[in-house]
Chains A and B, each alone.
Chain A
Amino acid sequence: MGALLVVVAFTVPLFVELRTVLSWVGVELTVLESVALAAVAIAALLVWALWPESDGPDSSNAG
């Protein structure tokens, strides 16, 4: 959980600067659009990280 918290925090500078980077290729985001994009990305990250691992037949061989 600690690592996940840090990864979520690390998305902040990425999305703050993403707006500038995208403007170089002609994509202009508003603040709201940037916030929405960041929220979707963080939500996807949390779902990926917190989704329970499947109990399929291969799981016993994993790692």
Chain B
Amino acid sequence: MSNTYLDQFPAEAKVVRAAFYSSFFALAIGGLFGIVQTLHRTDVYRFMDSADYYTVLTAHGVLLAITFTIFFLVGVFTWAVTTSLDRGVENLRFTWAWYGLMVIGTAMAAIPIFAGFTDSIDMSASVLFTFYAPLQGHPLFYLGLVLFVVGTWLAGVDWFRSWRAWKAEHPDERIPLPTFMVLTTTIMWYIATLGVAAAILLFLLPWSLGLIESVNPLLTRTLFWFFGHPVVYFWLMPTYMMWYVMLPKFSGGKLFSDPLARVVFVLFLILSVPTGIHHQYLDPGIAEGFKFIAMTNTMFLLLPSLLTAFTVVASMEHGARQRGGTGYFGWLKALPWRDPVFTGMALAGLMFAAAGFSGMVNAGMNINYLVHNTFWVVGHFHLTVGTAVALTFMAVTYWFLPQITGKALWSRPVALVQVVLWFVGMTFMSNAMHRAGLLGVPRRTAEPQYEGVTFEAAVGSVGELNAQIALGGVILTISLVLFFANVIATGFNGRSDELPSNGYADALSGPEDAPLVLDNLKLWTAIAIVLVIFAYTFPLLSIVQRGGLFGPEVITFPVSLESLAPIAAALEYGGLATVDGVASAVTGALEPGRIAIAEVVR
């Protein structure tokens, strides 16, 4: 008789299952668009117009960076709260309601994005993941994003309700670690999403509806990055949770330190938000001093990441030694490398270390200028969200699937090959992206080649880098196919009674060793808010003072080819007229001088 999550919480398991399947659906479509744009950009295989590249890129970014990650997150967090508090959700209808809201929001945002592929529907939202003004999407896109975020807010309410109900029954107990991680991450999310909510509800949505004529692009960009950097930690926190509470279990041991894990999550709550301006080092209109403050905050974020590296590796070593491993490095051989769950998560952690180093380059104000808006940045976030997060999610899926379906995994060897292939494919792809970025190859373009500009590789050639990117993309696609084959085939398996029990790792140093103040969520929330006020009040005031709340008059660029043609014609005509006008004015101004000189000579 098994004791899976499905056996313990059958109703909640359905919600988690629905969230995971929604996440995988987004991963499938987003991944498909990934290989399409890889082959297009590297000029290996092109079957679409380059103008459609931006629609593909938008769908790829939104579906993977928002939909895939956050649907998986809400599934994992619901599992974590119910499992660690050992109680079901307070109101299952409420739980289904926020899930439904997220689905509706996704559909609403996706409709205008996909409509961008056809001219027969008069809507589009090819505004990329960052939806910078003056790029303007259809109002449905912004409304969809709002509903999706509101869905996540309500999910947070659900988790807090569970915790408060549990606390009423266990007044003197420490918050179980997984729930503590969920709550701190949720508070961080509430603070972070205020930025994007303001950007959309006050500016972008009214602007796309025609209620206001213009926006201040620097203001909306800054509000976006108020949310845009912490969203990185919103993806990473469930990943960290898996590394802290599951990886030690799969290693065969215990978490090294529960208090250290709490410190890490508190630091992320405090430091994640007041750092967003480091994405805007090259934005004119924000004073260097504000950027320096953002850089300093960002560098402090290295601390929890390094603490995590220490704690997770120490936990793995403990597990390996429990399995008979010995020696300074000999214990590595005792780890369960045949287990796809462990191996996938370990490789994801390894890649995250590399991502940390390229992230430090991004975060440094001076050295950032070398790589800003280049392919380097794309290589960086394919190591963070594309590997540390995505590979951990895929690997841990092989443990979760039996827990939420009651069915044994279809094939562990295929799963092992899948996670290793992801590591190899991403090595090829992200390495070449980083190196291309160092040459100055730009990001966010279907046509990185410009007439009169030659990118010279230090070693090899740009063509070889492109081939390496395409090879990596193909390997990643094969890995994705194997992942979905395993997920789908597992669904066709019969129920099994031989499944591992639900649970997570115990700690060597438990919550009793953690100072009580760590569980004071009000204190950490207050500190987080104060830091945000310090970091953002003056930059935002300065931006509004210089550019106005709704900005100077800007030309809107609705992203459709029909509207671009007349705009281009108008610009061309206007430009020629201006040149003619200037030439006449200059000639007119010079004419009296010419006459005067002629008089003198005569």
Contact = CB atoms under 8 A, between A and B. Distances in A.
Given A12-B428, A16-B431, A5 B459 contact: no
Given A19-B460, A20-B458, A23-B459, A9 B424 contact: yes
A17 to B, nearest CB: 7
A6 B337 contact: yes
Nearest to A3: B337
A1 B340 CA distance: 12
A31 interface: yes
B338 interface: yes
A9 B336 CA distance: 16
Given A2-B336, A2-B337, 5 more contacts: A5-B417, A9-B347, A12-B424, A20-B459, A31-B464
Ranked 10 nearest A-B pairs via Cβ: A2-B338, A2-B337, A3-B337, A23-B459, A13-B427, A9-B420, A12-B427, A12-B424, A20-B459, A16-B431
A23 B337 CA distance: 34
Contacts of B435: 20
Interface string B98-111: 00000000000000
A46 B367 CA distance: 41
A6 B460 contact: no
Interface in A10-32: 12-13, 16-17, 19-20, 23, 28, 31
Contacts of B52: none
A12 B343 CA distance: 16
Contacts of B459: 19-20, 23, 28
Contacts of A1: 338
A2 B416 contact: yes
Interface string B339-354: 1000100110000000
B416 A5 contact: yes
A47 B333 CA distance: 18
B226 interface: no
B343 A6 contact: yes
Given A12-B428, A13-B431, A31-B464, A23 B458 contact: yes
A5 B337 contact: yes
B423 interface: yes
Interface of A: 1-3, 5-6, 9, 12-13, 16-17, 19-20, 23, 28, 31
A16 B431 CA distance: 8
B427 A2 contact: no
Most B CB within 10 A of own CB, among A2, A5, A20, A28: A2
A17 B435 CA distance: 10
Contacts of A23: 458-459
B464 to A, nearest CB: 6
A20 B423 CA distance: 20
A9 B459 CA distance: 23
Nearest to A31: B464
A13 B468 CA distance: 12
Given A1-B338, A12-B428, A20-B458, A6 B333 contact: no
Contacts of A2: 336-339, 343, 416
Contacts of B333: 3
Contacts of A16: 427-428, 431, 468
A37 B338 CA distance: 27
A6 to B, nearest CB: 5
A17 B427 CA distance: 10
Nearest to B351: A13
Interface string B315-334: 00000000000000000010
Most A CB within 10 A of own CB, among B336, B428, B431, B460: B460
A12 to B, nearest CB: 5
B182 to A, nearest CB: 31
Given A1-B338, A19-B459, A31-B464, A6 B420 contact: yes
Nearest to A28: B459
A3 B458 CA distance: 34
A20 B420 CA distance: 24
9 contacts: A2-B337, A2-B338, A3-B338, A5-B417, A6-B343, A9-B424, A16-B428, A28-B459, A31-B464
